[in-house]
Structure 1
Amino acid sequence: MAPAMTTTSSSSDDTFDIINYAVHQGHGVKGLSELGLKSLPNQYVQPIDERIDMTTVIDEHSIPVIDMSDLSDQKVADSICDASERWGFFQVVNHGVPLKVLDEVKESTYRFFSQAAEEKNKHSKDNSPTNNVRFGTSFTPHAEKALEWKDFLSLFYVSQEEADAYWPQACKDEALEFLKSSEIMIKKLLGALTQRLNVKEIDEEKENLLMGSKRINMNYYPKCPNPELTIGVGRHSDVSTLTILLQDQVGGLYVRKLETDSWIHVPPIEGAIVINIGDALQIMSNGRYKSVEHRVAANGNHNRISVPIFVNPRPNDVIGPLREVIEGGETPIYKQVLYSDYVKHFFRKAHDGKGTVDFAKI
């Protein structure tokens, strides 16, 4: 029988320190879920306005699904750009990433999180030998009034050598293969998107700005008691150029419909990859392409995983509206910002919708 849940550390047998157990000892919400809790710990109960109100979810719309098998067809390129302007999200099929790679990276995600807490905690903020590998739970526990029901492993790619040295053996090869296999697709997407921004070709300098760094996350959302009271991930937009998201078949990703208070569920499609515009590309496109708020619901019946690749500028790059956009006659609405400063601003606070992008506004 699990001990009673309190927020206070105690040597008494009938008290239990949730924060120490989940955050510091590395058990995460997966460990809490496996205790057989009958009710959600208070630390995870979200304010009412942060919970998913199903009356705001609309069923008659869904984000576009785009077949990438023939990008030489201008209609396909146009559909990518149109979706990025009108929705900020779309799904792609026939994208060129082998289905075997997708299956294996999902299997490796389960394999990593099935390890003992002590093994996973070797990669926590306090224990990891590199800042580029981070196991954790929630988003920023020290800054959140209510914690999110999610564990994660975050892997920032520097080189094959560093990955070989520091990435967890349970998922290293599969994560690297997903990164490698996605690169052609990413370049095709960015080629289509920048063409509409009057960029004639993506040279080495532009490629570094758009996709000079990559981070792959492995997210685990265990079954949750009282899922209606909490959230897997709170409202936010990504700080990336693009996010390449592999989700399993459980579902639970919700996207805000632009300029409304309505939310749209992104249905899982076998073999598809979800693409979304990040803040960096919204800024570089001077607001033409939209990074959109999204969030993930907790689930009371199933464990869920997702594997996003965040395609980013390099930390030392300065981002702002692209020269080609401004030369076309547009007035810049964003200033020039050091990308690492933008990212630090995002990670020092709890999820707050689109709040981070204001950091870059003129």
Structure 2
Amino acid sequence: MATKVLDGNSLFNFVVLEGNGVKGMVDLGLSKVPEQYVQPPQERIDKQKAASHDNPPIDLSKLDGPDHDLVVEEIVRAAKALGFFQVVNHGVPLKLLDSLKDAAHTFFGQSPEEKKAAHLKGPSSPLVKYGTSFVPEKEKALEWKDYLSMTYTNDVEALQYWPNPCKEVALQYLKTSTKLVKRLIQILITELGVTPDESKVEGLMGLKFVNMNFYPTCPSPELTVGVGRHSDMGTITVLLQDGIGGLYVKLEEDLDGNQADQWMEIPPIPGALVINIGDTLQILSNGRYRSAEHRVCASSTQSRVSIPIFTIPKPTEKIGPLSQLVEKDGVAHYREFMFQDYMDNFFANAHEGKKSLDFASINSP
């Protein structure tokens, strides 16, 4: 049976169109990575060449004590240098984080029919999407990943339409993390010398998604990727890793500010959350903050889960560099646009590093 489905168009139909996902393919008994998942050499992850990251996580509880200014400095430095940092004492209960990982495994452990049914109920604009890879129809090589994406509108609809195995813990995760995101946005905007307007902050996190990503075991993980290199389109992403690891962030500059082109593995830290700066904050800051280009490797030993929360602007929100910064810099590096247009462009293309930012760049053709 495996031979019949893992061949040409039948593989694409089985995995993508019929909704069996990578897990369905692996469950058939897979001995090698199918051709459709083999990445070109330049897109593969060479763990031997990766830099190690040994920066300790930022303790957010110290924001409410005498070390407040030092913690703010750490957050701003990380947002400018890498576009990512890890945080502890973040206000999200540790038991909830464990429950989230269990819920993700429970959801993806269901039958293909149960998983496919998750996005068939609800409003005409679905609040739940179950899929695989990123944009399979546009990708030259598919990503070794299945995912569940849940859009938040309100608590009632979340509990009504999100899948039963994970709706309650996902909603609690979203609500506790939202407080964290709001505080980080306020800090980062204030440190630009701009007083954050409450309505502007709310607009920057007006749309929220909870995703559950599942990376099945892979016979030759060095040939493929779990997620290709990309930056997130939104304002801030909060990510829960499990203990297996596999997240890599691109180091664009070394410690001396010289241009670099190296990938850094982000080791999982028990109880920590990863914070990714998105394209929106890079644009708003006129390039002062850096959205984190990142990617994920597959694993040969264990299936991995990760659970990100994406906070992005309302589709009707106008996004562009803050006027106070343009006045100070004497030039705008990005144009103003409606965020819906940025989203449409982002989801219309396969992952290709930070190319999505070209849509907003003044200097792009």
What range describes the TM-score normalised by the shorter chain of this pair?
Answer: over 0.9
2:62 alignment partner in structure 1: 70
Give SS of 1:156's match. Answer: strand
1:88 alignment partner in structure 2: 83
Rounded Cα–Cα distance in structure 2 between residues aligned with 1:222 and 1:128 = 30
1:268 alignment partner in structure 2: 268
Residue in structure 1 matching 2:212, options 210, 218, 228: 218
CA shift, 1:127, in A, is 9.9
The TM-score with structure 2 as length reference comes to 0.92
CA shift, 1:190, in A, is 1.4
2:235 alignment partner in structure 1: 241
Do the aligned partners of 2:5 and 2:14 also contact (CA within 8 Å) in 1? no
Do the aligned partners of 1:64 and 1:90 also contact (CA within 8 Å) in 2? no
2:244 aligned with 1:231: no
CA shift, 1:8, in A, is 4.4
Rounded Cα–Cα distance in structure 1 between residues aligned with 2:77 and 2:247 = 21
Do the aligned partners of 1:121 and 1:127 also contact (CA within 8 Å) in 2? no
Cα 1:315–1:355 change in 2 (3 A) is: same
Do the aligned partners of 1:7 and 1:18 also contact (CA within 8 Å) in 2? yes
2:203 alignment partner in structure 1: 209
Residue deviations 1:307-352 (CA, integer Å, cap 9, x gap): 0001111011110012332344442110001111111111111100
Equivalent AA in structure 1 for residue 231 of structure 2: S
Within 5 A, what are the aligned runs for 1:82-231? 82-124=77-119, 129-203=124-198, 205-231=199-225
CA shift, 1:162, in A, is 2.0
2:335 alignment partner in structure 1: 335
Rounded Cα–Cα distance in structure 2 between residues aligned with 1:173 and 1:126 = 17
Do the aligned partners of 1:64 and 1:83 also contact (CA within 8 Å) in 2? no
CA shift, 1:170, in A, is 1.4
CA shift, 1:122, in A, is 1.7
Which ranges of structure 1 fall in alignment gaps of 5 or more residues?
Answer: 10-16
Which ranges of structure 2 fall in alignment gaps of 5 or more residues?
Answer: 253-258
Give SS of 2:131's match. Answer: strand
Do the aligned partners of 2:122 and 2:161 also contact (CA within 8 Å) in 1? no
Rounded Cα–Cα distance in structure 2 between residues aligned with 1:330 and 1:117 = 55
Cα 1:330–1:193 change in 2 (3 A) is: farther
CA shift, 1:125, in A, is 8.1
CA shift, 1:238, in A, is 0.4
1:18 alignment partner in structure 2: 11
Rounded Cα–Cα distance in structure 1 between residues aligned with 2:29 and 2:8 = 21
Residue deviations 1:181-205 (CA, integer Å, cap 9, x gap): 11221122112111111222442x2
| RMSD over equivalenced CA pairs, Å | 1.8
1:13 alignment partner in structure 2: none
Residue deviations 1:26-50 (CA, integer Å, cap 9, x gap): 2101111122211111111111111
1:44 alignment partner in structure 2: 37
2:53 aligned with 1:53: no
Report sequence identity in percent.
Answer: 49
Do the aligned partners of 1:245 and 1:307 also contact (CA within 8 Å) in 2? yes
Do the aligned partners of 1:128 and 1:134 also contact (CA within 8 Å) in 2? no
Do the aligned partners of 2:121 and 2:161 also contact (CA within 8 Å) in 1? no
CA shift, 1:158, in A, is 1.0
**Matched positions, count:** 353
The TM-score with structure 1 as length reference comes to 0.93
Residue in structure 1 matching 2:249, options 252, 255, 261: 255
